[in-house]
Amino acid sequence: MMKLNTKTRSWTIHIDPEWVAWLVFNLPGEKVNKLTATAMAELDETLDELAADERIKAVAIRSEKQDSFIVGADINELLAIASVAEARTKSELGQRIFAKIAALEVPTVAVIHGACMGGGLELALACDYRLVSDHPKTSLAVPEVNLGILPGWGGTQRLPRLLALPVALKMMLAGKPMSGRAARRVGLADGAVTPAFLADQTRRFVDGVLTPAGVRRVRRRRRRAQRDLLSRLGRTPLGRRFILHRARKDVLNRTHGVYPAPLEIVDVVGRTLRRRLEPAHFAAEAEAFSRLAVTAISRNLVGLFLGSQRMKRRVKGGPDRPTIAAGVVGAGIMGGGIAWALARAGLRVRMKDINWPAVNQGTAAAAGMFKSLVDRRKMTKGAMNLAMHRITGTIDWRGFRPSDIVIEAVVENLKIKHQVLTEIETHVPPTTIIATNTSSLSLRALATPLQHPRRFVGLHFFNPVNRMQLVEVIAGKKTSRDTVLAAAELVRRMGKLPIVVGDCPGFLVNRILLPYLIESTWMFEEGVTTDRIDHALERFGMPMGPLRLVDEVGIDTGYKVAKELESAYGERMHVASVLGDVVDAGTLLGKKSGRGFYLYDNGTPRPNDDANALVSAARERDGVAPIEVTDADIVDRAVLIMVNEAARCLDEGVVDDPELLDMAMVMGTGFAPFRGGLLRYADERGIERVHDRLEELADRYGERFRPAGFLQKLAKRGRRFHAAR
């Protein structure tokens, strides 16, 4: 095999005896391949060499990295873009280089094994054919929308011409990865190969497409992938208008119009989707990319992405021996979700409760989460059955001694948790970590009866476990560092993000979130309607209004946690009496009972007149006069009270980094990602303005709004929560 282009560091050409050129990408000094500016410049030169060699019959592009093709552009370079002109130049350069791949006069094949993301997929789209490995780590996506931009190297042009329009739009608007199997099913991949025989099977495919019969076979497979009604509809002008109109409507319903990138994607595709590719089409893509790349929204979303990467690396170290077996005590919905996450990570799980119906409920919860993966084609039925066989149930303590960790997930009651934790300690060896899944009770209080508190740690999973990525790892005063590291490593193994927080009632996320929910119920008691409160905060960027969120959590559950925090923090978390009235009514429990602040009997939530009657009675009893507020008042009362509590958490060392706090609030509560996080929002609004607005709110509504000491210091010194990015 001949080797050319040895001067290039990232790209190497190997030519086999049959004159098939293998273009191999191996970015030096990195675990994965990224399309850095240097790598793109080298690719530009390398493509010129390939185009000049008339002996070459085909080109196959592959990665030298293990389990990774190309993860996309260098995100740090995206963050460094300083102007619209610079962004346009970057987009046009990538388009020009990938156009060279498309212009090669021989068949080109992208051989995709592992992650193929963003610019990596755009490179593959410029090839004539795409082969994927059938390995679980192979995934394809154009996730640029999650960074506040759109595919800027030809993706908005080539993807809708290759795939059915609804499929292409879904890929670009959702930004979610697609497995290799799914890619072949929709026509994105032209074949699937076995990783162990990647080179041989690729060569066989190349030999095939060098013949007319092989080309016809590929074209037939692509046509079969687009036989459904929507695919055929997308090939007509009227059908395209319908699909694009529906996509735009869905985007607006989902984002309330606060994210410009998905709307730009729909607009660019709508203006440029013609049968023939033209330079003006790529120019429209570059123009839209250049506008988006320099927005504050894009910078905030990129900052969150980089923060999540740093978060994964933040807590280093782990146990000397791997965690292979776990116990879960408490087999409710939460316990079943934790068992699901452990079994999915490959652990053997022993789940206990006081009777078999309760154990069966937990098993059913885990099975439902696995079935959801199967339904979405993220898991095979065989893999689901294998995972479910790792979960066993019991109503006694048999089978718990081999556990490396036991997670308690019983009701949020200190006395009951004490009893359960004491029992766990007597039935497991001294090496077993004991964890509690608590949302509000402090570890100091929970650890009181334990003989060995060094191995006791908090693991606060958020509900639903299968959808929420964040897990708070709570270090008690006596918890050993090794215990914290082992717990955090287990969380990572489950595919979730651990954040280590200090011990206090509510920990970090709930301590900051509860004032937001409590303040919303105060506004409700003062006469502001449920839908007005919720709509104002949804327009701000929250995924769900606060009163809808209380219904989702369960009004009784939320009230119990709120009262716990009121006991701990006093007047600033005093719960509105109407919330107690709703709980006392007994039938208004939220979505789980079909009745709460909203009614859920016909699929579309609508305000509940019974809740409105209760608030009217509470106002009359408590002497609360209805008030007039603006939507800006609603947002500031709900959001700035969170900023104030977050400042206290930083000052007390509950978390030591504003970036971590922002990541926790985005991942744990869905706080508007485009705003970059709670404290980033405060910084961009201006700390002095936030301080002054809180003073104004304190004068109007009470001392709970009075600026925290740390916030006062920042405002006085003209500083921000975050250092300049």
133: helix, strand or coil:
strand
* Given 460, 535, 574, 691, the catalytic residue: 460
> Measuring CA to CA, which residue among 386, 443, 382 is closest to residue 414?
443
d(CA 611, CA 597): 6
CB crowding 315-328: b at 16 or more within 10 Å, else e = beebbeeebebbbb
> Measuring CA to CA, which residue among 127, 97, 104 is closest to residue 57?
104
170 residue type, one letter: K
Angle, CA 135 vertex, CA 202 and CA 667 arms, to 5°: 135
- List the strands of the sheet with 178-179, edge to edge: 68-70, 115-117, 139-141, 178-179
Sign, Cα dihedral of 322, 324, 328, 334? positive
228: phi then psi, degrees, rounded to nearest 5: -75, 170
d(CA 73, CA 67): 18
Question: Is 460 considered catalytic here?
Answer: yes
Cα 304 to Cα 32, 142, 296, 538, 709: the distances in Å are 20, 18, 12, 20, 27
DSSP string, 680-691: HHHHHH-HHHHH
Are 182 and 377 in contact by the 8 Å Cβ rule? The answer is: yes
CB crowding 589-624: b at 16 or more within 10 Å, else e = bbbbeebbbbbbeeeebebbeebeebbeebbeeeeb
398: helix, strand or coil:
coil
d(CA 554, CA 588): 9
> Measuring CA to CA, which residue among 161, 101, 165 is closest to residue 128?
101
Return the half-sphere exposure (C-beta side, CA atoms, 13 A cut-off) of residue 582: 34
Structure tokens at 423: 């029992």
The residues that are catalytic are 460
